[in-house]
Amino acid sequence: MAQQSSISLIHLLILFLAFSIVTAGQKNGNGGGRKSGKGHTSGGNKNGKNDKKNNIVMATGPAIPAAGNGNDIETNFRGSWAIDNPNVGVAAMQFQLMPNNKAVWFDTTSLGPSARELGPPGNCPKAPEMNFKPDCFAHAIAYDVETGQSRTVYMDGEPWCSSGNLWPNGDLIATGGTRGGVRSVRMLSMADPNANFVEKKNVLADKRWYSSNQVLEDGSSVIVGGRNSFSYEIIPPNKMEFVPKKFNLKFLQETTVPKKPGPGMYIENNLYPFLFLLPDGNVFLFANDRGIIFHPHTGTIVRQFPKLPGGARNYPPSGMAALLPLTVVPENIHAEVVICGGNTQESYPSVDSKHTKDRVFTPALKDCHRIVLSKHDSTWEKEQDMPSGRCMGDLLHLPTGDLLMINGAQKGVAGWENAIDPNFTPVLYQPNKPMGQRFKEMVPTKIARMYHSVSALIPDGKILVAGSNPHAKYTYDVEYPTELRVEKFSPHYLDPGLNKFRPVIAPEKTEKMLKYGKEFKIGVKFSGGQATPQDVKVTMIYPPFTTHGFSMNQRLVILPLKAVTNDLITVEAPPSGKIAPPGYYMLFVNYRGVPSKGVWVHVD
């Protein structure tokens, strides 16, 4: 009898402990899609429970993130989507997030009206690209990423398929375009809340249509390539009057697929080349299917790399590329590039209506390759394949040091009506995980984002997504219409079940004007408990100029920690402009893989 009582007590104790664990897990696991009055929401947790009443997906994140190197979050939350603005009126061909939290995007100015009038009412300037006829429509906007409100911005000239970057002072420059804008530089001031673009025509040394920009260590910009432009040039920062330095670059001609006879019969496959500033001050350039490293101030080719097998990676096959995170260490800083997707060499003439009547939408490539550029004997290494093929997608840095693949198509190439089968599903790419575990599909959107779509990380850790216009004019009664809705995607680390572990940066206690190689303080509150250096990772991300699937100037730098307490972190700024070109960055603090909201800092 006594033995039976003891067993019953043990059973009761086990049941009580099991009930307590389940209850605690439920309390710690809330998460999922955010219901928004602005539009649709989708949220994902593959193994979680769906609370239909509250439109919440129960998260299954850990009660506390595992200790480690600050990048070890594990959660089944697959993100969520929400409409941020149901109709912004202007398609997003070119995009730049500015340090005042305004996202500026603009479209072509010469192919007809947008869906939004230029403010104030009755403002109809004569448009040079339309034979000086009055144009009452907006072709550029400044969008507040916090409120979803926007204003129209006047843009002179034709920036169609241009490039750009931020100056060190935070102003935006857009370079090149076509027609009367092919050698123009346009500037939009960050300081003036009502600014319009100021344009200087015929100041670039060469025509720059489908070119790429990279900010150099001194804040100047190298502008590379463009249609029939086998050269690059360097322009100085923070001024509109200059004499550009032009260098011929035979490599661009060697990587161009020749034009076929007849008007508009271009192929090329090397436009919008990939550019990355390396820690030694040289620049890695990839065009079509191969890469080089060159010295920007002399034009000297430092290294040449073998062809990357599989197909073409630049416009119009339009793959993705990123410089993987740079960790600041006393020794040689590891610099590595990843390139994914694109399409075959013949994919463009196989589908483009100028080349063929029997159009074939070739499946996009799903392969990825990596190369370590800080090693002298490195070569291309095959990376794990993506879960699906993708062209015209974006490859974005996340605050954690992971990357996100988003937007694009699974068949076809860039160009008007040249793609089908949108890739609705973002993919998390974790390059430091074991092979076979590096890709994870997130919850899909319901909106096609193909040709002329953009996306970018914003300071709250979400991804702002806009655009998609695979037509010459604004077109709506088709399968893939001109897209004027703006979305926000919340990645895995915004699992609401992890909110109680999220660090909070105290802006008033944080130094925001940084000097190369100098220590600075970050005021921060760790709500997950006492933090140690092993728990924390501080990252800073340069906001890219994004167009046609390439995020120009994008880079993430992991900073050295000097001291960590529960309310203050001491960090060392990047050692030079070779690691972090001068200008504005979003600064994030990660606690065991859970990032804070970002704050803007400036380094020089």
Mean pLDDT to the nearest integer, 463-487 = 98
Q: With a cut of 60, say whether residue 39 has pLDDT above it.
A: no
| DSSP H or E segment with residue 7 | helix 2-28
Q: Return the pLDDT at 13.
A: 43
Confidence of residue 403 (pLDDT cuts 50, 70, 90): very high
Closest CA to 154 of 213, 100, 90: 90
72-76, 298-302, 399-403, 480-484: which range is least confident on average? 72-76
Residue 123 tokens read as 């403002």
Q: How many residues does the chain have?
A: 604
The pairing of beta strand 599-603 with beta strand 513-514: parallel
Q: How confident is the model at residue 46 (pLDDT cuts 50, 70, 90)?
A: very low
Q: In 3D, which of 102, 231, 145 has the Cα closest to residue 461?
A: 145
And the tokens for 377?
């004997």
- In contact, 130 and 110? CB cutoff 8 Å: yes
Whether 446 has a pLDDT exceeding 80, the answer reads yes
Token pair of 387 as six digits? 């879960």
- 121 phi/psi in degrees, rounded to 5: -55, 135
Average pLDDT (412-422) is: 98
DSSP 581-604: -SEEEEEEEEETTEE---EEEEE-
Alpha-carbon distance of 113 to 134, in angstroms, equals 11
pLDDT band at 260 (very low <50, low <70, confident <90, very high): confident
- Looking from the CA of 474 toward its CB, the CA atoms found within 13 Å total 19
- In tens, the pLDDT along 369-396 reads 999 999 988 999 999 999 999 999 999 9
Question: Between β-strands 326-327 and 555-558, what pairing exists: parallel, antiparallel or unpaired?
Answer: parallel
Q: For residue range 423-436, what is the model confidence (pLDDT) as tens digits?
A: 999 999 999 999 99
pLDDT tens digits, 144-187: 999 999 999 999 889 999 999 999 999 999 999 999 999 999 99
Q: In sequence order, which residues have a C-beta less than 8 Å from that of residue 423 and are 6 or more positions away? A: 364, 388, 389, 390, 393, 407, 408, 409, 410
Q: Output the pLDDT for position 128.
A: 78
* DSSP letters for 346-364: TTTTTT-TTT-SS---PBP
Contact between 340 and 324 (Cβ < 8 Å): no
pLDDT band of 43, cuts 50, 70, 90: low
Going by C-alpha positions, the residue among 503, 505, 522 that lies closest to residue 514 is: 522
What pLDDT, on a 0 to 100 scale, did the predictor assign at position 68? 46
292 pLDDT tier (thresholds 50, 70, 90)? very high
Residue 235 has pLDDT above 90, yes or no: yes
Contact 501, 592 (CB under 8 A): yes
Confidence category of residue 64, pLDDT binned at 50, 70, 90? low
Q: How confident is the model at residue 4, as a pLDDT?
A: 43
Q: Alpha carbon of 305 to those of 62, 292, 373, 497: distances in Å?
A: 44, 6, 10, 46
Of the listed ranges 361-370, 372-381, 541-550, the least confidently predicted one is: 372-381
- Confirm if 337 and 322 have CB atoms less than 8 A apart: yes
Please determine, for residue 348, whether its predicted confidence score (pLDDT) is greater than 60. yes
Query: If you write DSSP's letter for every residue of 106-157 in order, what string do you get?
Result: E--SSS---SSBPTTTT--PEEGGGTTEE--B--EEEEETTT--EEE----S
pLDDT at 359: 97
Residue 2 has pLDDT above 90, yes or no: no
The pLDDT, as a whole number, for residue 66 is 53
Could you please report the per-residue DSSP string of 64-94? SPPPSSS------EEEEEEEEES--SS--SE
- pLDDT score for 527: 83
List C-alpha distances in Å: 590 to 69, 488, 524, 594: 10, 21, 11, 5
Q: Which regions of 305-385 does DSSP assign to beta strands (E)?
A: 320-323, 326-327, 336-340, 368-372, 381-383
pLDDT at 65 (0 to 100): 57
Contact 603, 515 (CB under 8 A): yes
Average pLDDT over residues 582-600: 98
What is the spatial distance between Cα 418 and Cα 165, in angstroms, rounded to a whole number?
Answer: 28
| Portion of the chain with pLDDT greater than 90, in percent | 80
- Is residue 351 within 8 Å of residue 413, measured between CB atoms? yes
b/e map 60-79, b = 16+ CB within 10 Å: bbbeebeeebbbbbebbbbb
Model confidence at 84: pLDDT above 80 = yes
When comparing pLDDT for 75 and 348, which is higher?
348
Cα separation, 442 vs 141, whole angstroms: 30
Query: SS3 string of 234-290?
Result: EECCCCCCCCCEEEECHHHHHCCECCCCCCCCCCECCECCEEEECCCCCEEEEECCE
Please tell me the predicted confidence (pLDDT) of residue 232: 99
Q: What is the 3-state secondary structure (H, E, C) of 462-491?
A: CEEEEECCCCCCCCCCCCCCCCCCEEEEEC
Indicate the pTM of the whole model. Answer: 0.90
> pLDDT at position 331, please?
83
- pLDDT value of position 23: 38
pLDDT at residue 1 above 60?
no
Instruction: Check residue 156 and give its pLDDT.
Output: 85
